[in-house]
Amino acid sequence: MKNIIVISSTLVTLLLSGHALADLGQRGDRIETRLDHSGDRIENRLDNKGDRIENRLDRKADRAETNGNDKRATYLTNKGDRIDNRLDRRGDRIDNRLDRKGERINKRLDRKAR
C-alpha cells in the first residue's frame, strides 16, 4: 500500500513539474539569444566608436600632412589604427564571452529540463 502511494505521488509530481521542466529549455534559449544580441550590440558600439576615432585622427593627419608635418601625420594615422584595432578586439572578446555564457546557461537549463 505504501509503495502505491509513493509511486502515485511521484507520478503526480512528475506530471505537475513536467511543464516547468519544459519551460527551462525555452528559458535557456531565450537567455542565450538575449546574451547573444547584447554581445552583438556591444561589439557594434565599440566598432563604431573605433571607426569614429580613427576617422577623426585621419582628418587630423591629413591636415598635418598638408601643413608639412609628415611625421605627425604618420603618428596620428598609426594611433587611429591602434585605437580602432584595440576597440575591435575588446568588442570581439566581450561578444565571445557573452556567447559562451549564454551557451553554458542554455546547456545547464537543458540538462535540468531532462
Identify the DSSP state of 1.
-
Q: What is the pLDDT of residue 113?
A: 74
For the residues 13-18, what does the mean pLDDT come to?
Answer: 56
* In the chain, alpha helices (H): 2-66, 70-113
The span from the CA of 45 to the CA of 36, in Å, is 14
Question: What residue ranges do the domains of the chain occupy?
Answer: 2-113
In degrees and rounded to multiples of 5, residue 70 shows phi and psi of -70, -40
Residues belonging to the chain? 114
| Stretch 16-23: mean pLDDT | 56
Specify whether the backbone of 45 is left (phi greater than 0), alpha (psi in -120 to 50) or beta. alpha
Is the predicted pLDDT of residue 53 greater than 90, yes or no? yes
pLDDT of residue 22: 56
Return d(Cα 80, Cα 110) in angstroms, integer: 45
Condensed to tens digits (0 to 9), the pLDDT of residues 21-52 reads: 556 668 888 888 888 898 889 999 999 999 99
Dump pLDDT digits (tens) for 65-101. Answer: 999 999 999 999 999 999 999 999 999 999 999 999 9
